Structure 1
Amino acid sequence: MVAPTGKRVYNWYISLVAASCMVLYGYDASVFNALQNSDHWKAYFNHPDANIIGAINTAYTVGAVVAGFFMGGPLADYAGRRVGMATGAILVIIATFMQTFAPRGNIGVFIAGRVVIGIGQGLALTAGPIYIGELAPPEIRGKIMSFWQMFYSVGSFIAYWVSYGTLKHPKKLGEWDWKMVVIFQILMPLIILSQVFFIPESPRWYVQKGRNYEAARAALLRVRDTEEEVEEELTTIREAIEFEAEAISSGYSALWKDKSVRKRMYIAMIINAGQQITGQGTLNSYSSLIYKKVFKDPNTIALINALNATFSILFTLNATWTVDRFGRKFLFIAGGIGMGICMLIAATVETQTPSPGGAKTHPVGISIVFIMFLFAFFYKPSWGATVWIFTAEIFSMNVRAQAVGMSSQTQNVANSIVQQFFPLFLAKEGFYAFYMFAGINFLLAAFVWFFVPETKKVSLEEMDAMFGGANHVVEGAAIEHKDASRHHSVVVDPQEKTITERRE
C-alpha cells in the first residue's frame, strides 16, 4: 500500500473543512426534534400546538429552499465557493442567537431564526459540495465526498448527545436544558470561519470567473503532487470552460436549454427528493414521536436518538471504501432494496404484536429499534452519502453552482411535503405508514436501475458525455485549435518575393 503524499493529505484536510458545512445541517435537522422532549421549551413558548410545530419546521425549509434555488448558486459563482460557505456560517451564528435568546413567549422570533438558519444552510450546502467536487482528484472524489454525509451524522451526534445530557438534569438547568442544545450550534460555524479563507479557492472558479490561470495554477499546486498533473488538469479545465463559454449559455436558462443538462436536472432532482422520502427524513424529524409509540420514558427515547446518531457515523464510513469500488449505481440499488425490506419488517413487527398497557413489550421495542438501526446501515452509505456525491459531480462548470443548489434543495421541498402529512398519518395509521416507505424505496431502486448511469472515477470535465452530451474537453480543444488557425495567416512580401508566416 502506497503511503499518501503530503499534498494528498492536505487535499483531505481542505475537503473536510468544506464538509463541515454539513455538520450545520445535521445539527439543525436534529436539534428541533430534540427540543420537543423538553418541557421547559414547551412552557417557554406557551405550549405550541401542532400547527405551530409544523410552522417551525416549514420556516427552516422556506429559508433553505429560497437560498438554495435562487441565492446559493449566484453567490458561489460571483464571490467564490469559500465566500458562499463563510456567508452561510455567519447567518447560522446570527440565527442561533435569535433562537436562544428569543423573548419569552415570542415564538415569532424563534421562527424567524429558523428562516435565517435555513438561508444560511442553503448557501453553505450549495458551495460546500461544489468545492469538494472541484478540488478532489477523480480517483478519490467519491471517498472524500462520503465524509460530507458522515458530517451530517456528526451534527446529529452532537445535538442528540447534548440533548440527552441536558435532559438528565432538567431541574438544575431549568430553561438552559433547551437553550444549551440550541446555542451549541455556533461551534461548527466558528470553526468553519476560522479556516475557510486559509484553504485554496477552487481553480475551476478562477478560470470561469476571470480566466485567472495563474491563480488557478497556484491553487492546483497546493493540492496536486506534480507540476505535470497541474498543467494537465489546468489544460482540461481551460478547454472545457472554453467550450462552455462559446457553445453553451450559463445561468439558470442553461439548465433547460441543453438536453443533456436537462436530463441531469431531472435525474438529480428525483434522486435528491428520493433521499428524503425513503423514510430517513421523517425519522430524523419525528423519531421522538415514532418511538413514543413503542417506549414511554423520554430518557429512553433521547438515548435511542443519541445512539442512532453515533452508529450513523460508523455506517456512513462504509461509503468511503464502497463508493469508488462498487460505484454509485450499485449503492443506490442495494440501499433502496435494503431500506425497503427494513421498512416492511418494522411495519409488520409493530402492527402484528400486542401492546399491553399502551406500549410494546421490551423485546418487541428492542427489535424495532434494531430494525431502525439496520435501516440507517443501508441508508447512510447509499441514499445518504451517495446522493450528495452524485449531485456534486454530474454537472458541467457553467451550470454547476445553480444546478447543485436547486437539486439539493429538492430534498427540503420533498421533506416539507412529507412532514406536513406524516404526523397525521402516523397518528391515524401508526406503523402502517411504514409500508408506504417500503414501496417508495423499491421504486427508487428500480428508477436507478433503468435511468441512472455509473459515474465513478469520471473526470468532471468529461461527465457530460455520460449523459448523452458533448465531451467538453474534446470540444474545447477543437475550439482552441480553430481559434489558433484563425489567428494564423500567410503574408506575401512583394519586394522580396517570399512567403512568411504571421501569428496575430
Structure 2
Amino acid sequence: MPNKFGMSPTRAYNWYISLVAASCMVLYGYDASVYNAVQGSKHWVKWFNDPDDNMIGLINTVYTVGAIISGFFFGGPVADYLGRRAGMGIGAILVIISTLLQTFAPKGNLGMFMAGRIIIGVGQGLALTAGSIYIGELAPQEIRGKIMSLWQTFYSVGSFICFWVNYGCQKNIASSGSLGQWDWKMVVIFQLLVPILIVAQTPFIPESPRWYVKKGKTESARSSLSRVRDTEEEIENELLMIREAIEFEKEAISSTYSALWKDKSVRKRLGLALIINAGQQITGQGSLNSYSTKIYQKVFKSASTIALINAVNATFGILFTLNATWTVDRFGRRFLFIVGGIGMAACMLIVATVETQTPTLPGGAKSHPVAISIVFLLFLFIFFYKPSWGATVWIWTSEVFSMNIRAQAVGMSSQTQNIANLIVNQFFPTFLTNCGFYAFYMFAGINVLLAVFVYFFIPETKGVMLEEMDAKFGGVNHVDKGGDLLGVEDAHHADAAKASEKSHVEHVQEVRS
C-alpha cells in the first residue's frame, strides 16, 4: 500500500537498494577529502618527514594510478563475470584493507601509506564501476535520473563525514605526545564505516536482471525484477525488452572490448563520455577537493578555521547536489551541463580577480571581508557544479551504453576522471605555490569551453530507455532487432517508458481506491 506521498513499498525498495549502491560513492568522496584533510595536520606532516609539493602531488597520483588501472582493466570484467554486487563488495573489502595500511603506517614509512593509497584506488575502481551500473540497470525508467543523482550526492556525503570528523579532531585531540597523531589517524580510520556497511548489505539486495539475462538465468532475472517493479505487466514487458536487446547483442555484436570501436555509434558515445568525464575533473572541482586546505592557507592562518570551512562546504555540497533530483528529469542533462559550465566559469573568474587584486596582510592572509568573499564564491562554485558536472556526468555516462559493453565503457569513461586528476593534481600544488589564485583563470576558461562543447556535441538522453539508447546515437534499435531474432511480433515495447510510468500510476491509484 502506498504511503501518504503516493510511494508504493516496491518503489521505496528501489530507493533503498539505490542507496546501498550509491554508498560506493561515499568511498570516493571520503577518500578524495581525507588526503586533503590530513595535509592540514602538522602531526601528519611531521610523521612523514615533511613531504614537499612534488611528494604531496605524488601521493595523490599513486591513488589515481590504482583507480585508473582498476577502472580500465578490472572494473568492467569483474562486474560482468562476477556480477554487479560482487564488484561493489570486493571493492569495499579492498578499501577496508587499504584504510588499515594507511592508519598504521610506521613513522616515516611513506611507502606503506602510499601502498594503501594504491590499493584504495583499485578498490574504488571496482566499486564505482559496479555501483553506477547497478543503479542504472535497476532504477525504473521514469525516475532513473532522480535515483542516479544520489550517486553524486553520496560523494558529498563522504566529504561531509570526512571534513566534520577532521574538524572535531582539530578542535579536541591532544596537541602533543603520542595522542596527537590521532588528529589525522582518526580521520583516516573512520573510512572503515561505509565499506563495512556495503559488505554487510550487498549479499541481500537483488542482482541486476540484465546481468542475469546475459548469463542465461531468465528466472533469476524475473525474480530480481519482481522485487523492484510494481506489477506483473511491468516485469514481463521489461524482461522481454532486456531479452530482445541482449539476444541481438549476443548474435550481432561482440561483448568484448573490441565492441567499443567496431560500432560507429559506440565509438561516438565512448568519445563523448571520455571527454565529459575528464571535463568533470578539470572544472576546478578536482583541485578544490584535493587541495582546498592548501588553497585556504593562502587566505586564512588558523587550521581549525580552514577545517570548519571545509566541513561547511561539504555540508552545502549535499544540499546543492540534491538539486539534481528535481532538475535532471525536468530540464534534461544538456541544460544542466550548459548552465553549470557557465556558472562555474563566472565564479572562477571573479574569485581569481578578487584574490589577486586585493592586498595581502603582513601575516600572509587576506582581510576578513576579502576572505569571506572568496569563501562565498567558492561555495557558489559548488552550487553550480554539484547538480551539473558533478551528478549529471555520472547519470549520462551510466545510461548511454548498451548492455554488451556497458561495464567496460562505464569503467573506462569514469576513470578518465582520474586521468585528468592525475595530470592536474600532480602539478597543481606547484602551480598554486608559484602563481597563487591566477591558476583559477585557467579553470574559468576551461568551463566556458565545456559549456560550448555540450551545446554542439552532447545529445539529450532524458526519457530514453536503456535498451533503445543506441538509436539515439545513430545505431540500430537493439530491442527491435532482438525482437526479430526472437520472433516477437508485438511492438508494445516501442512505448515502454510511457507504459511503465502509466502502469505504476494506475497501480498506485488502484491500491488507494
TM bracket (short chain): over 0.9
Q: Quick one: which amino acid aligns to residue 259 of structure 2?
A: A
Distance (Å, rounded) in 2 between the aligned partners of 1:202 and 1:231: 15
Q: Does 1:424 align with 2:430?
A: yes
Please report how far the alpha carbon of residue 49 of structure 1 lies from its aligned counterpart in structure 2 after TM superposition. Answer: 2.1
User: Which of these residues, 317, 324, 327, is aligned with residue 322 of structure 2?
Assistant: 317
Name the residue aligned to 1:110: 113
What are the residue-to-residue correspondences of 1:290-309 with 2, within 5 Å?
A: 290-309=295-314
Distance 1:444 1:265 in 2: 17
**1:58 maps to what in 2?**
61
**Which of 366, 376, 379 matches 1:370?**
376
The correspondence for 2:46, drawn from 43, 49, 54, is 43
> 3-state SS of the aligned residue for 1:457?
coil
Q: 3-state DSSP class of the match of 1:366?
A: helix
Amino acid corresponding to residue 286 of structure 1 in structure 2:
Y
Which whole-Å deviations, capped at 9, do the CAs of 1:380-401 have from their partners, x for residues lacking one?
0000000000010000000000
Aligned counterparts, 1:331-346, within 5 A:
331-346=336-351
1:98 aligns with 2:101: yes
One-letter amino acid matched to 2:435: E
Counterparts of 1:44 and 1:424, CA distance in 2: 22
Distance 1:304 1:33 in 2: 13
Are residues 1:396 and 2:394 paired? no
Letter of the structure 1 residue corresponding to residue 320 of structure 2? F
Gaps of 5+ in 2: 490-513
Task: Give the one of 24, 27, 32 matched to 1:29.
Answer: 32
Is 1:212 equivalent to 2:236 in the alignment?
Answer: no
Is 1:254 the counterpart of 2:231? The answer is: no
Report the RMSD for the aligned CA atoms in angstroms: 1.2
> Which amino acid in 1 is paired with 2:263?
D
| Residue among 256, 270, 274 paired with 1:269 | 274
Task: State the match for 2:463 in structure 1.
Answer: 457
1:5 aligns to 2:8 (yes or no): yes
How many Å separate the matches in 2 of 1:294 and 1:196?
44
Other-structure match for 1:495: none
Aligned residue identity for 1:326: F
The Cα of 1:356 is off from its aligned counterpart by 2.4
- Percent identity, aligned pairs only, is 73
Alpha-carbon separation, structure 1, partners of 2:436 and 2:411: 35
Amino acid at match of 2:383: F
Partner letter of residue 266 of structure 1? G
Residue number in structure 1 paired with 2:163: 160
C-alpha distance in 2, partners of 1:44/1:170?
A: 16
Please give the secondary structure, in 2, of the residue aligned with 1:175. Answer: helix
Q: Aligned-pair distance for 1:48?
A: 1.8
Q: Look up the SS of the partner of 1:10 in the other structure.
A: helix
Corresponding residue for residue 495 of structure 2:
none
Q: Deviations over 1:247-271 (max 9, x none)?
A: 1111111001110000000000000
Distance, in Å, in 2 between the alignment partners of 1:177 and 1:307 is 19
Which residue of 426, 448, 453 maps to 1:447?
453
Q: What whole-Å deviation, never above 9, does each CA across 1:204-243 have from its counterpart, x for those lacking one?
A: 000012x211000000000000000000000000000011
Structure 2 CA distance for partners of 1:382 and 1:482, relative to 1, 3 Å: closer
Secondary structure in structure 2 of the residue aligned to 1:356: coil
Distance 1:171 1:201 in 2: 47
CA distance in 1, matches of 2:316, 2:463: 28
Q: CA deviation at 1:170?
A: 4.0
* Mapped pair 1:148 → 2:151: yes
Counterpart residue number, 2:91? 88
Matches of 1:398 and 1:466, distance apart in 2: 17
The code of the aligned residue for 1:38 comes to S
Q: Deviation per CA, 1:128-182: give whole Å up to 9, x if none.
A: 0000000001110000010100000000011111111111134264111111111
Structure 2 counterparts to residues 115-194 of structure 1, below 5 A: 115-171=118-174, 173-194=179-200
Q: How do 1:212-231 residues align onto structure 2 when only pairs under 5 Å count?
A: 212-231=217-236
Q: Is the contact made by 2:25 and 2:152 (CA closer than 8 Å) also made in structure 1? A: yes
**TM-score normalised to the size of structure 2?**
0.93
Q: Distance in 2 between matches of 1:283 and 1:15?
A: 27
Contact 2:58 2:426 in 1 (8 A): no
Alignment partner of 1:473 out of 466, 479, 485? 479
Kept after mapping to 1: 8 A contact 2:60/2:426: no
Is 1:79 aligned to 2:82, yes or no? Answer: yes
Give the letter for the 1:405 counterpart.
G
* Alpha-carbon separation, structure 1, partners of 2:478 and 2:40: 53
Q: In the aligned structure 2, how far is the partner of 1:418 from the partner of 1:114?
A: 18
Q: Distance in 2 between matches of 1:222 and 1:299?
A: 47
- How far has the Cα of 1:360 moved from its partner? 1.2
Q: 2:202 aligns with which of 196, 203, 206?
A: 196
| CA apart distance, 1:286 | 0.8
Runs of at least 4 residues off by over 4 Å:
none
Q: How far off its partner does 1:482 sit?
A: 9.0
* 1:237 and 2:254 aligned: no
Cα distance in 2 between the residues matched to 1:193 and 1:475: 39
- Cα separation, 2, equivalents of 1:378 and 1:161: 23
Q: CA deviation at 1:2?
A: 6.1
Instruction: Provide the secondary structure at the position in 2 that maps to 1:399.
Output: helix
* C-alpha contact 2:342 2:448 (8 A) present in aligned 1: yes
TM normalised by structure 1 equals: 0.94
Q: Structure 1 CA distance, aligned partners of 2:445 and 2:141?
A: 34
Distance 2:48 2:296 in 1: 24
* Matched AA of 2:333: R
For residues 91 and 23 of structure 1, the distance between their equivalents in structure 2, rounded to whole angstroms, comes to 14
